[in-house]
């Protein structure tokens, strides 16, 4: 018999709509309560440990994957996730629908909502996500926008929890572009879990003031600290984990050379990792530009957990799909299930 530590979560947990609304979207981690975020991590861990127990949970359900940006990990994990849950996914690229050009965003959202059960959207503009959520009567999941990458941050925190146990009080250093979507989502995730996050970034690349202010409001409740510094060594010193991301995101390619010069001192190499704790983890959301933001010896080193992060995207995405789409989450074939 299998016993869950969080039986009410794994058997019946959902992201239930807030009062006055008919459905729940997943656009930002700030929209989750502290308890909901903790429950989501536990639920994703349960889905990972017992995949067969959820294999029919979304039978007959369909997800539309609307991707304006190319993708490896996000696309594969959502498609595979739906298949492993008994459902199916329809992939729609920008060439397929020319979102906002060939057809208005609201018309795309309203039409798809008549055919599928959830919209998974990877887009340049966060405003497109918000419009889709406003227009569709089915859940909308943020699979990445220019502002936030919440699915990634959940997988990151799940990976940290697997290696370090209790998240509260852990010291996480993010080195690189503090204004990008990964840094923003990490700030929200750290604030929800009591993780001390220090972002080391060049001047002019600080996090979005509004997002950081919201995260700091949560941090007051969990005891987390959120700091911005301009020297990578200050952030990495005595850290439990070091995180970096590409210096140039999709859509910023014309600015790549200027960014390389600015971010050169922020490369994560063996020397910088040596300033962290001896058992510090290295994280990267991938894809990585080897030799730019991170050197090969760090990316492929013994402390790197980047492939575990990538794998955990699958389990987190499955947990989110279950939480938002399934009428109830009742695993089969284990104690307490059907």
Residues involved in catalysis? 122, 149, 152, 245, 285, 313
Report helix, strand or coil for 301.
Answer: coil
Distance CA 250, CA 238 (A): 32
Structure tokens at 298: 């760090």
Residue of 336, 326, 251 whose CA lies nearest to 85: 326
Residues ≥6 apart with Cβ < 8 Å to 254: none
Q: Is the dihedral of CA 94, 100, 105, 110 positive or negative?
A: negative
Residues, the chain:
338
Per-position b or e across 142-173, b if 16+ CB within 10 A of its CB:
bbbbbbbbbbbbbbbbbbbbeebeebeebbbb
Distance CA 338, CA 334 (A): 8
Strand partners, 283: 243
Distance CA 104, CA 91 (A): 19
- Contact yes or no for 43/320 (Cβ under 8 A): no
Report helix, strand or coil for 231.
Answer: coil
- Contact yes or no for 122/143 (Cβ under 8 A): yes
Residue of 247, 250, 254, 252 whose CA lies nearest to 268: 247
- Work out the angle at residue 210's Cα, subtended by the Cα atoms of residues 125 and 44, and round it to the nearest 5 degrees: 70
Structure tokens at 204: 């002019």
């Amino acid at each position: 018999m299998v016993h869950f530590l969080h039986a009410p979560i794994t058997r019946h947990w959902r992201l239930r709509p807030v009062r006055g609304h008919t459905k729940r979207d997943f656009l930002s981690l700030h929209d989750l309560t502290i308890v909901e975020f903790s429950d989501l991590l536990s639920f994703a861990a349960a889905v990972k440990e017992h995949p067969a127990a959820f294999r029919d949970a979304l039978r007959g359900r369909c997800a539309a994957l609307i991707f304006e940006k190319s993708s490896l990990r996000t696309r594969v994990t959502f498609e595979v996730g739906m298949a492993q849950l008994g459902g199916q996914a329809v992939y729609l690229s920008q060439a397929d629908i020319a979102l906002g050009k060939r057809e208005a965003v609201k018309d795309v959202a309203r039409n798809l909502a008549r055919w599928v059960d959830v919209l998974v959207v990877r887009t340049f503009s966060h405003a497109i996500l918000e419009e889709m959520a406003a227009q569709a009567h089915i859940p909308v999941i943020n699979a990445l926008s220019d502002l936030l990458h919440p699915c990634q941050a959940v997988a990151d925190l799940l990976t940290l929890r697997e290696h370090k146990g209790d998240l509260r009080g852990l010291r996480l250093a993010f080195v690189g572009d503090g204004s990008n979507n990964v840094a923003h989502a990490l700030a929200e995730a750290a604030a929800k879990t009591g993780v001390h996050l220090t972002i080391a970034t060049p001047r002019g690349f600080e996090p979005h003031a509004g997002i950081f202010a919201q995260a700091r409001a949560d941090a007051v409740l969990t005891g987390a600290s959120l700091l911005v510094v301009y020297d990578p060594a200050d952030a990495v010193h005595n850290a439990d984990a070091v995180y970096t991301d590409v210096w140039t995101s999709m859509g910023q390619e014309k600015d790549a050379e200027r960014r390389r010069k600015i971010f050169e001192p922020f490369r994560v190499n063996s020397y910088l990792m040596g300033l962290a704790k001896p058992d510090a983890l290295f994280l990267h959301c991938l894809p990585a530009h080897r030799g730019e933001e991170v050197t090969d010896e760090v990316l492929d080193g013994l402390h790197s957990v980047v492939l575990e992060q990538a794998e955990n995207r699958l389990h987190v995405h499955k947990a989110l799909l279950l939480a938002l789409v399934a009428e109830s989450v009742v695993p089969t074939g284990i104690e307490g299930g059907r």
